[in-house]
Amino acid sequence: MSGEGHAPKTAALVAYLEGVLTPEGARRLESHLAGCGTCARALGAMRAYDALVDEARAIEPPAARSDAAAWEALRARLPRRRLGLDGRVAAWAVGAAGVAAAVAFLALAGAPGRAPRSGADPVGDRFTVPERPAPALPAPADVEVTAWSGEVRVDGEPLADHGPRLAEGDRLTTGPGAALHAAIATADGGDNWAAGPTGWALGPDADVALASARVGELILTVERGALTVAAGALGDDAYVGVRAGRYTVSVEGTRFLVSREREDGEVRVVVAEGVVRIHDPGRASPIRVGPGEVWSSRAGRIPRPIAAPEVEALATPWLPEGVPGDGTAAFTLPQTRGVVSWELGGAHFDAAGDVRVRLAPARFEPEGIELAALDRFGRRRLERVPLAGDPLPTAAFEPRAPAEGRGVLTVEQIRPVVRRGQRGLRRCYERWARSTGREAPIELRLRLKVGRRGDVVDATVVGDGVPVPPPLGGCVAQAARGWLFPLPEGGPVRLEVPVRFGPGSRR
Amino acid sequence: MLRSPPSPAPASIPVTAPRAPASMHGLEALIRQAQTGDEAAFEALFRRHRGDVTRLVFRLLGPTPEVDDVVQDVFVHVYRSLPSFRGDAKFSTWLYRLTTNVVRMHLRRARSRPRFADVEVPEATAPEGAFGDGPETATERNERLAALRRVIDTLPEKKRTVLVLHDLQGLPAKEIAAIVEAPVLTVRTRLFYARKALYSALTAEPALASLVDAMAGTLRGRPEAREDDGGAGGRPPRGDGGAR
């Protein structure tokens, strides 16, 4: 038969099999099938599939055991205490928008206390009422320590004895000068909750509990010390959160910093990009802190730009992209005059002592491993440190710096949203013109970041040549944050909208 | 091409009536009671839904000895997540969503596990006389179904899930949409492309060559009644001509 070299028209064949073609259409198709081997075989495959599915449907799974035996086996596996509704539901309360990389830095100082184990309410605080019911995605996530130095314990057991695998409910403590990096290996690029790597780093003298480590949910409870969290692009229904005292900080795809003063317990949140929500049991709704904003538990929103040390703290302390970790190296950081910390691929080690790190074998050279030594002025120099023994092969793992997905919105999708928003922008200009008595034409550029859910997660205003009056710029940015775009394909989108104000001008 | 939900086949999983406390009526009450930690109510839920969950796991995973373990995992997760079930969706939808997620995680773990050799697994067999289609042997049928399984397993995860839920489990597209948390149109699109990929793979599967050739021999198609959801996946979504 002929017909080789052209692809069968599946839709036409389906319509033919379903009998929905017109008599004339069916005749034409049949005449084509008579001379086209490819299409005839495709039709045969469709019919074969129908027959096979009928057979497969009639098959029942073999009975492995009786209901009673299955129940007894299941009963033995059930947790003794049901998970507290508060913690579990609150964990899902905020479906993370899943926009981008997120980094949280938690510097806490408080009385050390026993972090609750999984199975009980992970913290004693009350949480906000869930905004939507929990989806059922509670499979445990694979959590592994990827690098550590100094004294690190898991539930009181030295990490070296415990092994790098962590589980929900584990409590991690670090000694003076110790550091730890851990990550969740659930990234698969599909519709899983985290399309990118998600992990955290512990500073010295820290006490942190892994309250929940499940697919779709990562919750860390900080009792004491400093914690940095990085989340990859989060999917819908995913949740990454950190609990600290009465506050719960949930990630919506952003970079932010949370700190707690040692003296008076003041909590500060600094958002570099994106949005975070702060859940305070004393308030009915969460506090939403947007990009470029600083919030304090004492003073509320603070109108000041982000300070340099905060920006520095927001730098991602993560192993850089392209450093797969399928080997473990052990080495000893030497006491070196003038060196206050060491850096390897974004991981920081503040003290001299034993370090283990997971890297690709290609990074292990016979003469040792190269690290950056930093002095107290932040100056760097490269030092080669000999390895202690041969690198040990371990399971493949790829810690990477958080990466932000790039999505697509077409002009046709953007234009109507901007058009609808023009009225709000004009109101900003008119209000500003009334209050200042000026009617000068002003041109500006509105920079937007549209999240995976089509909401504006970041809006900033820059002048087009001349600075924009802050009240006008703030009003415009605020108005734009309420815009809702169609769902972008592939991830968050950044776009820029030129805006021209002036007497009589439309935009 | 469109199918009605499967008729209840002879169950090899013994199903007994739930041992619900006398004061409870209906599934809703059972769930509420189980949410409070009532073990008897949870056991009743388990007994009532074990068969459905086992069937779904079996169809998603294929004949493997791990089916029973995965079913157990599902109910462990049900136990943990039950307090968060608010009744916004049907319980069966919620349960199926959880089941597909647990199976998905199981498959991912299995993929990352080292494999040393192919292990022979017991094949599930069809009940005697279930087909009434001539003197063929169960072996031939099992070979055909194993070939179908191989072909289904080549599909990407999302498409495979939708295809199994619709074509094998017999769920309507609307319910599948709630299970996989995607729009109905997306479900239909996935179903269309899953079938399209399957048709192509079936023609290349040696164990099915004779079946495909035999089916290709008859020109006239057989119209089928559309019963389940008015066209879920049987045809490409509007605007997609399907011609490739």
The pLDDT tens digits for B177-193 are 989 888 888 898 888 88
Q: By mean pLDDT, which of A171-175, A196-200, B161-165 is the weakest?
A: A196-200
SS3 A366: coil
Strand A255-260 to strand A102-108: parallel, antiparallel, or no bridges (unpaired)?
Answer: parallel
A19/B14 touch (CB, cutoff 8 Å), yes or no: no
Task: Establish if B88 touches chain A: CB-CB under 8 angstroms.
Answer: yes
Closest partner CB to B221 (pick from A16, A34, A73)? A16
Tell me the range of A140-154, A172-186, A201-215, B27-41 where mean pLDDT is highest.
B27-41
CA B232, B234, B235, B236 torsion-angle sign: positive
SS3 A417: helix
- A244, A257 Cβ separation under 8 angstroms: no
E strand or H helix at A289: strand A287-289
Which tens digits make up the pLDDT trace of A70-84?
A: 888 888 877 654 333
B168/A53 touch (CB, cutoff 8 Å), yes or no: yes
Which tens digits make up the pLDDT trace of B181-228?
A: 888 888 988 888 898 888 888 888 888 887 887 777 655 443 333 334
Residue B176's pLDDT is 92
Tokens 């972008």 found at: A488
pLDDT at residue B229 greater than cutoff 80:
no
Task: Give the nearest chain A residue to B16 (CA atoms).
Answer: A67
B1/A236 touch (CB, cutoff 8 Å), yes or no: no
Residue A263's pLDDT is 59
Cα separation, A155 vs A145, in Å, equals: 14
Cα separation, A157 vs A137, in Å, equals: 30
Task: Establish if A129 touches chain B: CB-CB under 8 angstroms.
Answer: no
Residue B19's pLDDT is 36
| Residue A413 binned pLDDT confidence (cut-offs 50, 70, 90) | confident
Tell me the range of A240-249, A308-317, B58-67 where mean pLDDT is highest.
B58-67
Mean pLDDT estimate for chain A: 66
For chains A and B, CB pairs below 8 A equal: 250
Decide which of A29 and B165 is more confident. B165
Residue A486 neighbours by CB distance under 10 Å: 14
B223: chain A residues, CB-CB within 8 Å: 17-20
pLDDT at residue A129 greater than cutoff 70:
no
Burial zone of B8 (CB within 10 Å; 0-12 exposed, 13-18 middle, 19+ buried): exposed
SS3 A463: strand
Average pLDDT over residues B6-24: 32
- A384, A369 Cβ separation under 8 angstroms: yes
In chain B, positions 123-162, which contact chain A (CB-CB < 8 Å)?
124-127, 130-131, 141, 144-145, 148, 157-158
Nearest to B101 by CA among A233, A192, A78: A192
In chain A, positions 215-254, which contact chain B (CB-CB < 8 Å)?
215, 236-237
In chain A, positions 320-339, which contact chain B (CB-CB < 8 Å)?
none
pLDDT at residue B55 greater than cutoff 60:
yes
Q: Which of A1, A9, A14, A192 to mutate to test the interface with B (most CBs of B within 10 A)?
A: A14
B200/A45 touch (CB, cutoff 8 Å), yes or no: yes
Provide the H-helix boundaries in A368-496.
411-436, 470-480
Distances (CA, A) of A149 to A204, A228, A340, A385, A387: 10, 16, 14, 14, 14
Give per-residue burial for A230-246: e unless 16+ CB within 10 Å, then b: bbbbbbebbbbbbbbbb
Residue B10's pLDDT is 30
- A242, A264 Cβ separation under 8 angstroms: no
Average pLDDT over residues B69-97: 87
A133: chain B residues, CB-CB within 8 Å: 84-86, 88-89
Task: Establish if B223 touches chain A: CB-CB under 8 angstroms.
Answer: yes
Residue B30's pLDDT is 84
pLDDT at residue A122 greater than cutoff 70:
no
Strand partners, A9: B243
pLDDT at residue A121 greater than cutoff 50:
no
Nearest to A399 by CA among A360, A342, A444, A457: A360
Strand partners, A194: A234
Distances (CA, A) of A153 to A144, A150, A175: 14, 10, 8
Which tens digits make up the pLDDT trace of A141-176?
A: 777 787 778 888 998 888 888 887 888 788 899 888
Cα separation, B202 vs B219, in Å, equals: 18
Name the pTM for this structure: 0.40
Task: Establish if A109 touches chain B: CB-CB under 8 angstroms.
Answer: no
pLDDT at residue B123 greater than cutoff 50:
no
Cα separation, A339 vs A333, in Å, equals: 10
Cα separation, A233 vs B148, in Å, equals: 36
Cα separation, A272 vs B193, in Å, equals: 42
SS3 B85: coil
Burial zone of A319 (CB within 10 Å; 0-12 exposed, 13-18 middle, 19+ buried): buried
Question: What number of CA atoms fall less than 13 Å from residue B122's CA on the CB side?
Answer: 10
The length of chain A is 507
SS3 A281: coil
A191/B131 touch (CB, cutoff 8 Å), yes or no: no
Cα separation, A207 vs A223, in Å, equals: 5
Task: Establish if B46 touches chain A: CB-CB under 8 angstroms.
Answer: yes
Cα separation, A371 vs A355, in Å, equals: 12
B72/A70 touch (CB, cutoff 8 Å), yes or no: yes
Residue B69's pLDDT is 87
